Chain A
Amino acid sequence: DTGVSQDPRHKITKRGQNVTFRCDPISEHNRLYWYRQTLGQGPEFLTYFQNEAQLEKSRLLSDRFSAERPKGSFSTLEIQRTEQGDSAMYLCASSDGPGQSTDTQYFGPGTRLTVL
């Protein structure tokens, strides 16, 4: 069990550019979540997948954000036309889903985005 991995760990971009982040969940976990965390705040939910289906999206996920999980394994989060307000830590978590009473979520190390 190698845990949840995220790539890249850090990304610096200029305003208006597009960025894409990748998350690899714990093997065989069928649920995958994206959260955003700003300084001094707890993580805020963005979206989650069960297998390849995107089941829920937060109102925080504007039209500039899109997430995919094409084969039910890794996921990507893309931000188009980045804005300075997008600067944050983007966290991915996975859980082993239905049948588990607590659906415990395990987090990756995060991707820190800085928009200049």
Chain B
Amino acid sequence: QKEVEQDPGPLSVPEGAIVSLNCTYSNSAFQYFMWYRQYSRKGPELLMYTYSSGNKEDGRFTAQVDKSSKYISLFIRDSQPSDSATYLCATGFFSGSARQLTFGSGTQLTVLP
């Protein structure tokens, strides 16, 4: 079992829809949680990070973490065609020697105009 499991998609929605992207993780020791966006053949671009349970908003994006159920979500409001990309969730530690991120496999999103 992978440490971070992500809904594989692909996901196709009409412009303006609310998008929900989801991940679960198995290691309760993970301390922070990130969402990256990756356009085709490009490097991942950081969207949001959070380290506590609850919601964090940034414009049209909301990251939600539930540590008790080990569940991570990203919501995109008023989705736009420019949001079409692969979305990667990632978890990590900010203490100790293991600093690498553990990624989900990504969800490919297409927003149709």
Contacts and interface: CB of A to CB of B under 8 A. Distances in A.
A42 B43 contact: no
Interface string B93-113: 010011111111110000000
B104 A42 contact: yes
Contacts of B92: 103
A76 to B, nearest CB: 18
Interface size on B, as a range, is 20 to 34
A104 B49 contact: yes
A45 B102 contact: yes
A58 B36 CA distance: 22
A101 B42 contact: no
Nearest to A3: B43
A56 B106 contact: no
B46 interface: yes
A74 interface: no
A101 B94 contact: yes
Nearest to B43: A107
A105 interface: yes
B44 interface: yes
A43 interface: yes
Interface string B70-100: 0000000000000000001010101001111
Interface of A: 4, 6, 31, 33, 35, 40-45, 48, 55-56, 58, 91, 95, 100-110, 112
14 contacts: A4-B43, A42-B4, A42-B103, A43-B101, A55-B97, A55-B99, A58-B100, A95-B99, A100-B94, A101-B94, A103-B94, A107-B46, A109-B43, A110-B42
Given A55-B99, A58-B100, A104-B46, 4 more contacts: A101-B51, A101-B94, A102-B49, A109-B43
